[in-house]
Structure 1
Amino acid sequence: MSSAGPTRIRQLNRRAVLSHIRYEGAQSRSALGPALSLSPAAVSSVVNDLLEEKLLCESESTKKDGRKGRPISLLELNADAAYALGIVLRPTKTETELGLAWVDYTGKATAIPDVPVSKHQDIDTLIRCIKAAIEKLEKEVPDAKRIFGVTIAIPGVIEGDTIPMAPKLPCIEGGEFIERLQEVIEYPLSFHNDVNLAAMSELHQQPRLRDLSFAYLYLYTGVGSGLSIEGKILNGWAGEIGQLHVNRNIPNTTSFEHSLTTDGCLADLLESLGHPRQALDELAKYIDQRDPQTLAVIDLYCEHICDAINVLNSVLALDEVLIDFRSDKLFQRLRPRLEVLLQASRRPPVISTPVMGNEATLNGAALSALTEALEVIETN
């Protein structure tokens, strides 16, 4: 046996201490041993190394020793130990913007203003804007030398180093976009589906979801879903319901993307009522006034949502569906109708909303970049 055995064990102990504090919060030295089945000597040795390397720091808060009544110092992650960046591609029918955020070593994300892409469907312009966006984020991060990775949230399917489908941004389909970005960006890059990243963000924010099967249903200018089974996000084509056509009442409807996008029937209704197409909040008052035209469109829209949920539920037996909708005010009117319609299902899931709202994907992208860099950060 070489010294690789003890070295590996020490690395695992380091990761265990850091992971425990990451998920359980600030901890005392005396609590780490029983929690991780480590001896006091092992805890002391590992903690001293992590403090010296500035991955851990002494917390300003303390807690009382129940037996002696004296304060006990706590250990917490050092927020400045490492940083990671997240970028979200946000296309609509007419424009594309980049959502930007950076995250510190504790997982706290900070968003900065979106960046518009001057040419909506031009791959050269998009790559140039992403490079400029990273440079902008570097100026926001307290120490750019400690940036360990970047995650790009893609509005489409990722397979290895290719993007086989991106309906709202077809210029990135294929392998050229990823290949060219990897050539011009110096940081480790990863690419993930945008709705999957939103689901990952909710797992981070709501630990209760780790024991459930849930779907994150995204209803904006695009339509998609992220799926999680007991804390594990399903990748690839899982959840890509946008191109499916399942509706018992309107057989000619092309897809869920066509029937559920907020750029579609809801925008058409707003236009017919004399409002801007994106002003979804305005529909709430028409629902409250029981306007027949509005109620007819809303009822059919709710049926489409329930059809999408039933498709997912029939395969995964969902405990919960988190619906990320473009207008909170309008969704408050949709939710009771959805719950009534779903009662016809054999096992209706609970309907809820994401705690991160429309920042879930951006938060998830930055967290993903940090998570993928943790082994390098914590063992190097």
Structure 2
Amino acid sequence: MENRWYVKYTTVLLGLILTVYVMIVAKSILLPILFAVLLSILFAPLASWLEKYRIPKILAALLAMIIGLSVLFGLGYFFYSQITAFVDDVDLIKSRAEELLAGLENILATWFNVEQFVEFEDIEGLFLEFVRENSGTLGRGVAGAVSFATTALLVPIFMFMFIIFRDFLKTFFLKLFGSKSDMHTAKVQTIMSNIQVVVQRYITGVIIVISILAVLNSIMLLVIGVKHAIFFGVFAAMLNVIPFIGPIFGSILPIVYSLLTMDSLIYPLIIMGGFYLIQILEGNLFTPVIVGNQVSMNALVALLLLFLGAQIWGLAGMILFIPLGAIMKVIFDEIESLQPYGYLIGRVPEEEKQKKGKLAQKISDFKEKVSNEGNEEEEGEE
């Protein structure tokens, strides 16, 4: 009875439904914990390094947490100061939008005999009417934002506790999953070690790629002469953390802003081309070389995870589900009964070969050659 397909299907389906339901209901609890887990894995080596110099464990964890969060608070202050600067451009944007609408009306009247296409005052009236009709929804959105801010305050607390109790938690997982035999213990240790390596290298690689993109985006916009170029460049680079969709939305804002504030229509086209070239470099050089195969998932699974993350947890899910998928692949690859699922998540062999551009492949080969020579020298010294 237990081996029949519909029994297994029903069991798996119920398990998936219950898991998704719990993830939705417990969103306010799970999100800060997961973000804290990823950040604690990233900064745990820093705490361990500080402890080597006889710094107390609590103080080392506190210093690691402060260093990590200071970067996030710095970014938050940067965006806040840049957004407030947009207030000075409201009148310019409004007048430019009126000019564009007037030009559009002239074109429609001349070529299509369509008059009075739209009035800017009508747009303002529609916006105010929308605000009045949806005040309840907007109020719930503000309440949700306040709730998110409150939840975000829990991240440093959880992060601090995870760093302090990291050895205790490792021992717990060894006792829970590796108590059957020495082989199980070794396998659990391998899984935990691989998860730590994947998360650290992935997050570090993503941060480096974002930094490079922020510099390139900002330089490109500064050369073109776009106001608030650094803000647009950093914002577009940070959206790159969301695969596929992030780069598109990151480029839309400066394109629209240049359309509304600059004199010629050629500037938005140049900006579009600049972002396109930078994304080619990112996809064929920066990410393959720096991030590499730390998240070895094929494009289909990455898109599915992105879609599921957006449906379950929104923007936070789009950010979290990719590294969570990489962690699941590490677990699947080490457990024999789950290895087919690890293969399904992983990259297609042909895709693995074609993933990198020629320049990225040459750089990766050179890095691998240097690394192998370094390892051989170390072995010779031993």
Per the normalisation by structure 2, the TM-score is 0.23
Structure (1 or 2) with the greater helix fraction: 2
Structure (1 or 2) with the greater strand fraction: 1
Larger radius of gyration: 2
Per the normalisation by structure 1, the TM-score is 0.23
